[in-house]
Every structure is written in structure tokens, then in C-alpha cells.
A and B are shown apart, each in its own frame.
Chain A
């Protein structure tokens, strides 16, 4: 519960600062000292690793150029298993990751994790937040990121060319008339990108399990493929929820029995008192002589 409380605090603080710059660092540095303390400890727990993963993602974040790797990772998931981890990072926390101690995170354990994620940077928090607020596509409506993203998409575009060639010639070529190839392909690319994003958002929405991230990292690091890790965690979550339900029921039962016990004890005392009161009244019937004979 401490774990989630930390992240809730970070969420509040980070949500107020949309600019991913020093603003954030300064505001969060005054945030809970817990995260900073955890950095100082030499023994890194899984929760620390989790936080460092998050701060590593923010550290390497830029407004542009982040969707390209994200989409390539969606299309080629076998190449980049960490992309699914990114999804899990985004989904359960659904908040902007913390960047408490960017400068000081130089523990041997944590640098490897941050290095891992700087190679495949996470998308900006706009996308993360979008899942919750339902305003996910305001990002898409904003033309600027699309424009800035185009250069980065060239490499991505190469992969799609055969497919796009098919689509464009059959559907768009006929229906839309002869557009100049440059403009048309740009539009088609944008449309394709938007569709990809929507599909990615839907697939994130489908992933309902808020798997415990430390558990997932553990599985991934120990060679489980992400699907297997997913299944195992689902199994654990099932146990968790059943145990919780059972515990809740037991607690309710205990409370109920305690109340009944108290009631019965009171009843017993009451009856005892009544019995004691009635005792002197016994033997009031006494034989007395009434007849003269």
C-alpha cells in the first residue's frame, strides 16, 4: 500500500506540470522524501527498481520522436520485449512517472535499468494520461507533434511501404482520385498513424490486469516470454483476489460472531439478575390455619 501511495503522490505533483523540463524536477524534489531515501539505501528493493525504471523513462523523454519507437515496438513485439513492459508501466500506474532524483541515481543496480530504458524511450505522458482521461486523442488532433514526428517516421515508413502501396493504390487511388503522390502519401501515413494509435489505445484498454510490476520484471529478467509472464501473473492475481475475498468474509464473520457473543452475554446477565430478584419471592405460600377444627 505504501507503494501505491508513493505513486499517487507523484501523480498529483506531476500532473500539474505538463512541461517535461526542470519544472518537474524542482517540484518533485520537494515531494515525498521516501523516494530519495530509497535512493540512498545501498540495497535496492524491487520497488526502487520500479521507481528507477520510471525515472529512467522520463529522463530520456522528449516530446517528439517517441512515438516512432513505440509503434515499431507494437508492430514488432518480438524484437523489443520491453515494449510490453512499457505498456504495463503505462497502464497500471497510469500516471506520469517520477523523476525525483535524476542526478543522484547512480547506483550500480539502477543504471543498468535506466540504460535499458533509455534505449527504448517511453512515449510522453500525454499518451499515458490519455488513457485515463479519455482525451487521448487530443494529442492526435494537435498538429504539431504529427508534423515533428514525420521525419522520425521515415524509417518506420519504410517498413510499411509494401502494405501502404497496396492500400493506397487499391483504396485511396481509386476513391480519392489522383492526388499528387507526395501529399497523398503524407496524408495516408498520418491516417495510418492515427489508426495505429487508436488500435494501440484499444489494446491498452483491453489489458485490464494491473499486474504488479516488480513481479513482471522478475519474470522477464528470468527468461519468461512476456505472454508467459502475463499468464503467471494473472494466476497470481487470481489467488490474491480469492485470498482477499476469503479474508474479508472471515473478518465479517468474526465481527458478526463477536457481536452475537456480546449480545448473548448481556442476555445471560439479565436473566441471572431476574432470577436473583425472583428468589426472595418464593416460598410466599405458607400454610396457615384457617379452619376452627
Chain B
């Protein structure tokens, strides 16, 4: 059962800009403080300053997962020539646990968009086994699809995204 056309990931063009169409198979819960991230939620930089609590589903502790957090709208959604910006990369997360149990390859950097309203996407991949993942040389121009094919991660098993804009933004409305 693939994503429907009305799925928020499709409507928000996350599937297309960042990911291929996939089928959700693992639960992914991302919580910033008290707020659980639902697709399309609006958050400000102050609310995402610290890394979120991430809990994943699955059943077998012997399965390991990789979490990627990217911003595909850098530097601005109307001109994303630095797509994507890698904010966080955690590997070897055992099923049913969270990012605290994984290997933080790229440390969490809080999103602080300067221009426009950016989508921040968190993607979960299933690893074939415990594997060594090398951190990329820089955060920008990251390509989630290439990364997944490079480490044989296949299609995502879960994804969620939220919107982030400047603290003093107007929510996309002009005057």
C-alpha cells in the first residue's frame, strides 16, 4: 500500500524533491519538547533548537535503522540551489529504540532558515546490518537518494516533515 496522492508527504512534495515513493512500514515518532511532529507542522527555530526525541517502531532489536534529517529548501524555497542541507545523521539505531541508542555520525544542527518557509524532513531507512557510514565532507548539497543507494539502504521505511521559518516570519502571508 504505497502513499496515496493525498498523503501529506506527497502533497508537500517531499516525495519527489527528496524521496522516492515508498510504503510506510515502521513507526516514527519525533518529538520536540512536548510537541509531536506531524507532517506540515509549523515550528520556529526556537522550538527546534535542541535535538528531538526520536522513537522508532519495528519488532526485532537486531534490525538497525538510519535516520537522516535534511532541509531541501536551502537557501530559499524559491531558489534551492544548495539542496539538501544535512542537519542530522544517526545510524545503527536498533528497532523499538531511539536515536539515543544509535551512532550520531553528523551532529544535530538546529534549522535556522533565513529566507522563506523551509521543509525539514526526517527519513528513516533500514540497514542491512550494522555498517560503517562515513560522514560526508559537508552538509550542503547532500542527496538523500544517493546516500541511500551508496549504503544500500533501499527505500525509506518512514518519513515525516515539518515547516520551519524565521522566528519573526509572517507565516507566508505578505503584509
In the complex, A210 has a CB within 8 A of chain B: yes
**Interface majority SS (helix, strand, loop, mixed), chain A:** helix
Q: Which of B9-17, B105-113, B134-142 contacts A (4 or more CB under 8 A)?
A: B9-17
Contact status B5-A132, CB under 8 Å: yes
Considering only CB atoms, which chain B residue lies closest to A201 in the complex? B13
In the complex, A203 has a CB within 8 A of chain B: yes
**Least Cβ distance of A202 to chain B in Å?**
6
Cβ–Cβ < 8 Å partners of A41 in chain B: none
Cβ–Cβ < 8 Å partners of A208 in chain B: 8, 11-12, 39-40
Contact status B16-A206, CB under 8 Å: no
Considering only CB atoms, which chain B residue lies closest to A78 in the complex? B175
Cβ–Cβ < 8 Å partners of A108 in chain B: none
Within 8 A of B (CB), among A205-243: 205-210
A121-141 interface code vs B (CB 8 A; 1 in, 0 out): 000000000011010000000
In the complex, B163 has a CB within 8 A of chain A: yes
Give the CA-CA distance A119 to B117 in the complex, in Å.
Answer: 31
Q: How many residues of A contact B (CB 8 A)?
A: 18
In the complex, A77 has a CB within 8 A of chain B: yes
Quick one: given A75-B174, A131-B11, are A206 and B78 in contact (CB under 8 Å)? no
Cβ–Cβ < 8 Å partners of A156 in chain B: none
Give the CA-CA distance A132 to B172 in the complex, in Å.
Answer: 21
10 shortest A-B CB distances, which residue pairs? Answer: A208-B40, A208-B8, A205-B12, A132-B5, A203-B172, A205-B13, A205-B11, A202-B77, A206-B163, A134-B16
25 A-B interface contacts by CB (under 8 A): A75-B174, A77-B173, A91-B11, A94-B6, A132-B5, A132-B11, A134-B13, A134-B16, A198-B78, A199-B77, A202-B13, A202-B77, A202-B78, A203-B117, A205-B11, A205-B12, A205-B13, A206-B117, A206-B163, A207-B40, A208-B8, A208-B11, A208-B12, A208-B40, A210-B6
B residues bordering A, Cβ < 8 Å?
A: 5-6, 8, 11-13, 16, 39-40, 77-78, 117, 163, 172-174
A residues bordering B, Cβ < 8 Å?
A: 75, 77, 91, 94, 131-132, 134, 195, 198-199, 202-203, 205-210
